[in-house]
Amino acid sequence: MFIWSKLWDHIKGKYEKNKKRTTVISIKKRSDFSTTGQWDVVTESNGKQGSSVFDAVMVCIGYLSESFLPLESFPGIKKFKGSYFHSRFYKHPDVFQGKRVLVVGMGNSGVDIAVEASHVAEKVMISTDRGAWALSRVFDNGYPWDMVFITRFMNLVRNSLPGPILGWMIANKMSQWFDHENYSLIPQDRRVMREPVLNDDLPSRIITGKITIRPKVKEFKENSVVFQNSSEEEPIDIIVFATGYTFSFPFLEESVLKVENKQASLYKYIFNPHLEKPTLAIVGLIKPFGAVMPVVEMQARWITRVFKGLCQLPPVTTMVKEVTKKKQKKIHWFGFSFDEVLKTDCLVYVDELASFIGSKPNLLALFFKEPKLALEIFFGPCTNYQYRLTGPGKWAEARNAILTQWDRTLKPIRTRVVEDSSNFFPYLLKIFGLFALFAALFLGFQ
């Protein structure tokens, strides 16, 4: 038994050879922290340590810093004579050439690896207990999925629907591409929303027999695996554990930040409510239902204003109450309920942070001033240009960027342009959109 030692040694050796970086050893409050909010930061570079004083610190390591590999949860793994490694160390499908491969876990990394392996391996299996919704990056009418799915209008509709109805609609939408039950992918618990798997090739690899979906692993043998509810042994050569990640902050004292059960008690996923001075911020410790970069950008904009004293945090009791509520992971009556505390509705979350700094667009005021722009903001993709129309960091070109974002999206693929026939239907949709916008605005969506 070995953990793909040659691959790991190669990666580690190359990394050590090219490593030229500064490592943070510790971040501690200064003795006068309650007055100054300053931090003593000890770093190490080329074997030498140094100490500096900072007025504020942003920790930006995210939640993908450490591989989560619970080998104790897999009986018989010590007897397994093949090779295994965590998905974090995967680099190229050549390692699977002619092999029988098992991927444990069905997140995006696991599925991507399984699909690549299926082109060169003798056999590929994915073991999953919970299942997952598989989603194509190419969504309705060939548009990018997030530009269609994450809009203010769609978000308003979703968050206004009872959970069971929304769950049924999501299941129906996902299965329009292919029936997840027939492909053994349907999620086990459909009351909560897990991160969907974004992969355009998965269903075709399954239906052609290149990938097989199997249940949870029961135990490993010397050269095989046995799955739950089965006594049959499946021969395998390589195991890829796509079992996710965990995170920790070893350079911080527990009194500053403590991680328990893969979560930290942070207000808005950023600030420890118990610090005397809000001069330490955690960036990116969040799993938004959507792209992460626009979210962390807004986090940074709010954080810097808090550091400067331009934005104030609410009382400690208010922050603690909100943190405690989030950690309870209750099933919501309306809208999405997520399966992890770190997961959140990215549009609602970013809107909230934007409102703190005065950058959230006021749709009601904007509609009477410039209805065309208001309609695009409400029905179109919720891109971060919207948060540059007003407030600190206002950008003069934000309006034009919003109105032309579809042009830039389609230009690279419209390489053969044909004359379009006139169609009255889009105008009817716009008229309907005006009524929907009015209704939403007067229901308090501002």
The sign of the CA dihedral 264, 268, 273, 278 is positive
Most confident by average pLDDT, 175-189, 233-247, 321-335 = 233-247
Percent of the chain with pLDDT over 70: 86
Confidence at residue 5, expressed as pLDDT on a 0 to 100 scale: 41
pLDDT digit string, tens, across residues 367-385: 999 999 999 999 999 999 9
215: number of Cβ within 10 Å = 14
Reported confidence tier of residue 62, pLDDT bands at 50, 70, 90: confident
Contacts of 340 (CB under 8 A, 6+ apart): 262, 287, 329
Is residue 7 pLDDT above 80, yes or no?
no
More confident residue, 290 or 338: 290
Is residue 318 pLDDT above 80, yes or no?
yes
Is residue 184 pLDDT above 60, yes or no?
yes
Q: Match 């974090």 to its residue by tokens.
A: 88
Confidence at residue 161, expressed as pLDDT on a 0 to 100 scale: 82
Cα(371)–Cα(270) distance, rounded to whole angstroms? 35
Stretch 166-187: mean pLDDT, rounded? Answer: 88
Stretch 66-87: mean pLDDT, rounded? Answer: 94
Is residue 432 pLDDT above 60, yes or no?
yes
338: number of Cβ within 10 Å = 18
Is residue 435 pLDDT above 90, yes or no?
no
Is residue 445 pLDDT above 80, yes or no?
no
Reported confidence tier of residue 4, pLDDT bands at 50, 70, 90: very low
Is residue 329 pLDDT above 90, yes or no?
no
The closest alpha carbon to 429, from 378, 391, 390, belongs to 378
Tell me how far CA of residue 36 lies from CA of 56, 273, 324, in angstroms.
10, 17, 28
Stretch 116-145: mean pLDDT, rounded? Answer: 93
Most confident by average pLDDT, 64-78, 171-185, 387-401 = 387-401
Confidence at residue 6, expressed as pLDDT on a 0 to 100 scale: 45
Query: Domains in the chain, please, with CATH?
Result: 66-136+177-245 (3.50.50.60), 248-357 (no CATH)
Enter the pTM of the model: 0.83
Confidence at residue 221, expressed as pLDDT on a 0 to 100 scale: 94
Stretch 350-357: mean pLDDT, rounded? Answer: 96
Q: Report the interhelical angle of 425-442 vs 152-160 (nearest 10°).
A: 60
More confident residue, 170 or 417: 170
Confidence at residue 178, expressed as pLDDT on a 0 to 100 scale: 92
Tell me how far CA of residue 194 lies from CA of 178, 189, 280, 321, in angstroms.
18, 9, 30, 25
**Range scoring the smallest mean pLDDT among 157-171, 321-335, 407-421:** 321-335
Stretch 61-87: mean pLDDT, rounded? Answer: 92
Is residue 223 pLDDT above 70, yes or no?
yes
Confidence at residue 21, expressed as pLDDT on a 0 to 100 scale: 81
Stretch 301-318: mean pLDDT, rounded? Answer: 96
Reported confidence tier of residue 44, pLDDT bands at 50, 70, 90: very high
The closest alpha carbon to 170, from 153, 195, 152, belongs to 195
Output the average pLDDT for the chain: 87
